[in-house]
Amino acid sequence: MKFGKEFLSQMVPEWQEAYLDYSHLKTVLKEVSRARQPEASDGATRNLKRRVSLYRAFSGLARPRRSQQKQEDAIHTNIIHEGSEECYQSMLFASSSDQSDEHQVEFFRRLDDEFNKVVGFYKKEVAELMGEAEELSKQIDILIALRIKVEKPDFALEDFNETVSLTGSSTSSASTSTAKSTFPRTAKRSSLEVTQEVEMETREAKSNSRKASGGIAHPTIQKLKLELLSQVRINVQPETPISTLKCMVMSSTSQLSYNKTELRKAEELMKRAFVEFYQKLRVLKGYSLLNKLAVSKIMKKYDKITSRRASKAYLEMVEKSPLGSILEVIGLIERVEAAFIKHFADGNRRRGMDILKRKIKRERQGITFFSGFFFGCSLALVVAIILVIHLRNIFNSQGRGQYMDNIFPLYSLFGFIVLHMLIYSANLYFWRRYHVNYTLMFGFKQGTELGYWEVFFLSSGLAVITMACILSNLDMEADPRTRTFAAITESVPLALLIALLFLIFCPFDILFRPSRFFLVRSAFHLVCAPLYKVSLQDFFLADQLTSQVQAFRSLQFYVCYYGWGDFIRRSNKCYESRIFEAFYFVVAIIPYWIRTLQCLRRLVEEKDVEHVFNGLKYFSTIVAIAMRTGHDLNMGMIWRILAAISSGIATISGTYWDIVQDWGLLQRNSKNPWLRDKLLISNKNVYYVAIGLNILLRLAWMQSVLGFREAPFIHRQALIAIVAVLEIIRRGIWNFFRMENEHLNNVGKFRAFNSVPLPFEFDDNNKMRTRL
């Protein structure tokens, strides 16, 4: 693989603009190469070329600085100090007979600009990380004091003088004898005992580490007394609806009560904060090394093209810059590792590093094999079902209408789920192809997120089981020997639904348990809306459910068909019930009502009027669905007019919000006509086609309002299913561009990591920030 492609593949997507523009520098070097081609072809001119060099700065040519300049001195580097800022410049010694001088000047000008951009970004990130390190040091000091207060309430804090300083040193002035006498060895040691022992054993190693990092330790020992804890309040974000309701009455921060529950929550938040902070340090270290490698590669290309030696001088300047000396970051990484192992891994380095390091998800070949196997089986089952229907002439049989009214809505639920999962697997594939960091935005735990092969495996497996049940159902209906087993035949879809629910809520570590529980937890947040803080994964899942209205109605039909015993009589009396009709309204608007409540919660928290209009958009959709449902059940002219008007308003508002707000398109002053400035897909026609499809598929509701309820060649239930399928396809298209726009917003803010709340707040003048 060429370095240019490898460079792009190893970039942090959200920091892409902060990296060295390697591709543009290569383009400038190509211009240098083209300008030198006539000179290289003229051998006589090249042999007679004067070896007198001129001193050239970026402003143009100047007189020679030295009368006898060596040929190898192609550039001169300089570091300009402007207050606290440093600017790195290189100046070219160019031959008077070189026709590519202007392009070489442009190359070094561009290289200096890019290098200064990289150094500036690196210094800014280091400064932010040092501030976060100081805050983490204060937080861990309080956590140590809280541990002592909870686990050893009789221990005098005045006798334990330990402070943790991630930016400088980690010291402990408690004597060995005191530690041993206070915490005697037992069969089961507390975390505080391990903390003391590891601190004494690793003090010398940390001192050597600080010397290696070039820093001089100035330890500041603070006594962790009871007065310190009295100035601290715990800041735990609400995690349950009850705690959210309590926070409406009182503040989310409260005084410490020194119990084990507080200690456990504080330790969990601190562990997450350390892991996230450690990942930032490692990424910043990789950012430095990758940009240094890019500078080295581009300078070697320059030397090769121009047959001059400029890389040595330029790389010396790089090594003198903060980007070349990353000992500060390396030292901070080592101190974070030592502190985390000591305080959160009981001194077990292997376990501590396993938690700290990013989990790399490995592709399993078995998943790929079985995905293809199940997909092939599903195709074979589709062919088998078509052959059975054709050979036994089921479409022309007397029971055709009964089967479509009773059985088809039961199996269509699984069809909607399988289709949505297939489209989601396609979304994952294209997100990964275009480097959309969906794992960060959804908040997936490292190493547990599902890839497109895993989702395709689950969807194809469910498709095989579903179509096998359909085929068995058709066979039992057609076989005279099993035709009398009506209850067993009708119970096949219910058994399949129970099996699916069991797999989703199965507590055993099978079939991607972390992802299943992540889905269940997000669904629970939707049920309890607006009592949970709305995150992207929550409202994204709610938007998916708004495209599964017909699936919710199928679940309602399950309750009616099996709960009222209709499956035994093979009769469908659901639509004759007023209760069923009432819930037919309610079930359809549940997903949109959840989104409306989420908009209300975000309005209260963020004070952004944009959520008001978003909530009104979903409320207009609720009205439109209610009117269309009333039209489907009553078939009156008044209902039709109301359904047409409300659906038109909902379609216009929904289409505008999809394209302009969610996708960020239709920007008038964009350099890409009516799109946006930054696009992940180079072919702009894809965006125009997506806009057209979104508008067209949103008009699928017109088939019910205009009276196309049942065509001569297709049953009404099949037509309803087709409209539902079109909506699922529209949502799949929406998914990609919605996450693309979110990703580009993160890129614009250089947001490559999640913010983690810290557990403690100081109640003094130097109040801590509550977030990293």
> According to the per-residue pLDDT averaged within each range, which of 63-72, 79-88, 349-358, 422-431 is highest?
422-431
**Residue-wise DSSP of 246-264:** HHHHS-SEEE----HHHHH
Strand partners, 56: 61, 92
- Banded model confidence at residue 177, pLDDT cuts 50, 70, 90: very low
pTM of the complete model: 0.82
- Banded model confidence at residue 431, pLDDT cuts 50, 70, 90: very high
pLDDT at 203 over 50: no
Position 185 scores a pLDDT of 33
Identify the residue with better confidence: 479 or 605.
Answer: 605
Identify the residue with better confidence: 483 or 280.
Answer: 280
- Banded model confidence at residue 32, pLDDT cuts 50, 70, 90: confident
Position 174 scores a pLDDT of 39
pLDDT mean over 56-73: 44
Place of tokens 């399928």: 725
- Banded model confidence at residue 33, pLDDT cuts 50, 70, 90: confident
Q: Which of 109, 108, 134, 124 is nearest to 15 (CA)?
A: 124
pLDDT mean over 578-606: 92
Identify the residue with better confidence: 280 or 481.
Answer: 280
Q: Residue 61 belongs to what H/E stretch? A: strand 60-62
Task: Give the separation between CA 750 and CA 742, rounded to whole angstroms.
Answer: 12
Q: Residue 762 belongs to what H/E stretch? A: strand 760-762
- Banded model confidence at residue 234, pLDDT cuts 50, 70, 90: confident
Alpha helices (H) along 434-508: 438-442, 452-478, 486-490, 492-504
pLDDT at 218 over 60: no
Task: Give the separation between CA 427 and CA 440, rounded to whole angstroms.
Answer: 15
Q: Which of 117-131, 287-301, 464-478, 551-565 has the lowest mean pLDDT?
A: 464-478
pLDDT at 747 over 70: yes
pLDDT for 582-592, tens place per residue? 899 899 999 99
Contacts of 75 (CB under 8 A, 6+ apart): 90, 91, 92, 93, 108, 310, 313, 314
Position 463 scores a pLDDT of 96
Express the helix, strand and coil content of the chain in percent, nearest 5 each. Answer: 65, 5, 30
| Three-point CA angle 413, 417, 421, nearest 5° | 170
Task: Give the separation between CA 97 and CA 108, rounded to whole angstroms.
Answer: 19
User: Could you give the dihedral angle defined by the CA atoms of residues 728, 729, 735 and 736, in that order, rounded to the nearest 10 degrees?
Assistant: 170
CB contact at 8 A, 203 and 234: no
Task: Give the separation between CA 426 and CA 424, rounded to whole angstroms.
Answer: 5
> According to the per-residue pLDDT averaged within each range, which of 39-53, 275-289, 345-359, 632-646 is highest?
275-289
Q: What radius of gyration do the chain's Cα atoms show?
A: 33
| Three-point CA angle 204, 289, 88, nearest 5° | 110
Position 505 scores a pLDDT of 94
pLDDT mean over 77-91: 82
User: Which tokens hold the place of 170?
Assistant: 């980690």
pLDDT at 709 over 60: no
Position 503 scores a pLDDT of 94
Task: Give the separation between CA 46 and CA 51, rounded to whole angstroms.
Answer: 11
pLDDT at 421 over 70: yes
Phi, psi of 755 (to 5 degrees): -85, 140
Q: What is the mean pLDDT of the chain?
A: 80
Task: Assign 736 to helix, strand or coil.
Answer: helix
pLDDT for 522-535, tens place per residue? 999 999 988 888 99
pLDDT for 536-561, tens place per residue? 999 999 999 999 999 999 999 999 99
Position 199 scores a pLDDT of 45
CB contact at 8 A, 469 and 492: yes
pLDDT at 229 over 70: no
Query: CB-side exposure of 637: number of CA atoms within 13 Å?
Result: 0
Going 682 to 683 to 685 to 690, the CA torsion angle's sign is negative
pLDDT at 402 over 90: no
pLDDT mean over 57-74: 46
Task: Give the separation between CA 290 and CA 684, rounded to whole angstroms.
Answer: 31
Place of tokens 């509550």: 770
Place of tokens 């390396």: 330
Task: Give the separation between CA 272 and CA 433, rounded to whole angstroms.
Answer: 29
pLDDT for 235-252, tens place per residue? 765 567 776 666 665 555
Q: Residue 172 belongs to what H/E stretch? A: strand 170-172
Identify the residue with better confidence: 256 or 421.
Answer: 421
Task: Assign 628 to helix, strand or coil.
Answer: helix
Position 373 scores a pLDDT of 95
Position 481 scores a pLDDT of 64
- Banded model confidence at residue 729, pLDDT cuts 50, 70, 90: very high
Position 74 scores a pLDDT of 74
Of all residues in the chain, the percent with pLDDT exceeding 70 is 77
